[in-house]
Amino acid sequence: MPVYAVISGCILPVPPMSNHSDFPELATARFVLREFVQSDIDAVFRGLSHPQVIAHYGVSYATRDDTQQQMDWFRQLVVEQRGIWWAIGDANAPATLLGACGFNDRDHDHRHADIGYWLLPEFWGRAVMRECLPAMLDYGFGALALHRIAAEVEPENIRSSSLLVDLGFVHEGTRRECEFKDGRFLDLADYALLHREWRGTGR
C-alpha cells in the first residue's frame, strides 16, 4: 500500500524504500551511511525496542508492526525536506544494519536542524559514531548549507555528551524536567555546533 505525504496542501506519494540513485550515500574508512530499505525493519525494531538503546532515546516500539511508523518517517523526512536519516552499515557488509544517524526538524529559513543517532549494543565500543557523525556533519554544513546543528541529550547519557563535546558541540544549557518518560520527568541538555566552529573531517 502506498504512503502519502501532505506538502503545502498537495498530496504526494512517498516512494517505496529502495536504493535511489539520488540518495546521498556517505562513506568513511570503515562504514557506509546508506538509504534505509524495507528489509531493515527487523534490525530497526531490534534497536528501538532494546532496553539499552532506548534507555536514553526518545523513540521506542513494542512490536515489529509498530516499527513501520519509523520506516515511513525515514521516507517522509526526505520527501517533505524536513531532514534525512542514514542507515549505518559496515563497509564490508553494507546490508547489515549497525545503527542510524541523521538530521530532523530542519528549518530552511534559519538553516538549522537537530541530529539524532543510535547504535545496536553489539557494536558499542567500536567508535562507530565517532567515525560516522563527522561525515554526517560535513554533509549538513556543506550540501544542506546548515548554519547551526543541535542535539538534545539526557544528562545521564555521559557517553553521548562526551562525543558531542569532542566533535566541537557547545553545551548551551539544561532544560529542567521538560520531558515525561517512563513515569518520570527528565532534564534535557542542549548542545549546538555552528558552521564556523566545525573543523571538518580533515581536522
Short-list 46, 174, 67, 192, CA closest to 119:
46
**How many residues can be counted in the chain?**
203
Q: Residue 19: what pLDDT? A: 47
Cβ neighbours of residue 83 closer than 8 Å, sequence gap 6 or more:
77, 102, 103, 104, 105, 106, 113, 114
* 8: pLDDT strictly greater than 50: no
Short-list 183, 178, 197, 44, CA closest to 119:
44
The domain total for the chain is 1
Residue 1 placed within a domain: no
* 9: pLDDT strictly greater than 90: no
Residue 203 placed within a domain: no
Helix H or strand E encompassing 190: strand 184-194
Residue 14 placed within a domain: no
The whole-angstrom separation of Cα 88 and Cα 47 is 12
* 3: pLDDT strictly greater than 60: no
Domain that holds residue 164: 24-197
Residue 95 placed within a domain: yes
Over residues 88-96, the mean pLDDT reads 96
Residue 7 placed within a domain: no
Q: Residue 14: what pLDDT? A: 38
Cβ neighbours of residue 51 closer than 8 Å, sequence gap 6 or more:
none
Residue 136 placed within a domain: yes
Q: Output the domain CATH number for residue 156.
A: 3.40.630.30
Residue 2 placed within a domain: no
Judged on CB neighbours under 10 Å (0-12, 13-18, 19+), 88 is buried
